[in-house]
Amino acid sequence: LSAAATTIASGGCRTAAVRRRGELLEIRRHCAARWGEELIDLSRSEPIAAWPGTSEPCDVWAMTRRYPPIAGLPAARAAVARAYAQQLGCELTEHDVVLVPGALAGITVALLALVDGGEVLVPVPCYPPSLAQVELAGAVPLAIDTEPTGWRLTPEAVERARGPRTRALLLSNPANPTGVVYTAGELRQLAAAAGPEVLLIADEVYGEFAYDGPAASLAGVLGRERDAWLVVRSASKTIGRPGLRVGALLGPRDLLAQVAAVAASFVGGVSVPAQLAFSAALPAVRGSDHMRPYRRRREQVLARLAAIGFEAHAPQGTYYVWAGGPPGMRLGTSAGVRELADRAGVIVAPGEHYCGSSRHLRISLSVRAAELAAGLDRLAAA
């Protein structure tokens, strides 16, 4: 085991993920009962807007009399390929796309199909289910702590952590919870440091959520240059509809064929109405500024957090702010968050859930501005 990376005890990630999710749900339930409409929840992950803005009813029953193709309806895959080819600046056809029931399922199926035992490198803090997903696929998650390098995964850290059993590197870009956005140059360097055999999986569900223009996509950066890469996108953030449960894997077609083969005995394709809604809605987000609601909120939150002694880290993407509390404040733990919520009626997401420190927390900007300001007042007074 390299000193640069930490393995988590076998099975530990799955049980920890279940326990932590349960703890946060319980905090929400308990505090909703106690605070009622006064409760301010800054821990949620849905975006503030949805595209398209109107809802078009469709005849769901008529679409559901046949099993859909495992990889998605050809017309829906082609429409998704066209939309992402344009948006990400790469060549994609329907054969370079597999539709999946959300990014979560997509990543898990991809890991099951393509990571045969071995180790998967995961920069932390990370999206909470990532480590459990690796375990589910029968591999060992190797967590690389990014705190010492300003929350960015570096090629040097990848080189130090990589070993003969490394099969994949799973990173989110833009990154949840830290808001880091990797440049095209950084993605190339990380790919080079991982080596040609290592599968790079870029979870780009926040791909449109970057403050300084579009985030570089692994699909545009590596495209045909490399055989071992996958990109994951999703309706949950891109069109603001997490209830649809649909997303897309983009990548080289022989890898996608292996993923579809596993999906055949696992998820069995994607709900047809969801496929059609996603593929029809993607063109509606072209040219839209996903960050518009968040820019002012970001500045306000950063200024306020600094004023109350938090070490706030300016996000380049996502709609979260990752911040370290003053010494002694343990808001990064479930117990600390529960105590704050109980006392002050404001819920934040604890850093430990993201494999971060017990000092850190994640604040969502995806709430009404007045609620955000009131939530910060309560945090300051706590």
Q: Which residues bind ligand PLP (CB under 6 A)?
A: 45, 102-104, 127, 172, 176, 203, 205, 234, 236, 242, 247
Q: Which residue number, 129 or 377, has a Cβ lying nearer to ligand PLP?
A: 129
Which residues, in sequence order, are CB contacts of 368 under 8 Å at separation 6+?
A: none
Q: Which residue number, 132 or 344, has a Cβ lying nearer to ligand PLP?
A: 132
Report the C-alpha gap between 105 and 22 in whole angstroms. Answer: 20
CB of 234 vs ligand PLP, minimal distance in Å: 3
Q: Which residue number, 45 or 217, has a Cβ lying nearer to ligand PLP?
A: 45
CB of 294 vs ligand PLP, minimal distance in Å: 15
User: How far does Cα 175 stand from its chain's mean position?
Assistant: 7
Report the C-alpha gap between 345 and 40 in whole angstroms. Answer: 6
CB of 356 vs ligand PLP, minimal distance in Å: 14
Q: Which residue number, 120 or 344, has a Cβ lying nearer to ligand PLP?
A: 120
Token pair for residue 297? 């909120």
Q: Which residue number, 143 or 344, has a Cβ lying nearer to ligand PLP?
A: 143
Report the C-alpha gap between 352 and 8 in whole angstroms. Answer: 14
CB of 45 vs ligand PLP, minimal distance in Å: 4
Report yes or no: 346 and 44 within 8 Å, Cβ to Cβ: no
The position carrying tokens 């990532």 is: 130
Closest-CA residue to 316 (of 207, 165, 192) = 207
CB of 323 vs ligand PLP, minimal distance in Å: 17
CB of 207 vs ligand PLP, minimal distance in Å: 11
Burial tier of 62 (Cβ tally within 10 Å: 0-12, 13-18, 19+)? exposed
Q: Which residue number, 123 or 247, has a Cβ lying nearer to ligand PLP?
A: 247
4 backbone dihedrals φ, ψ, rounded to 5°: -85, -10
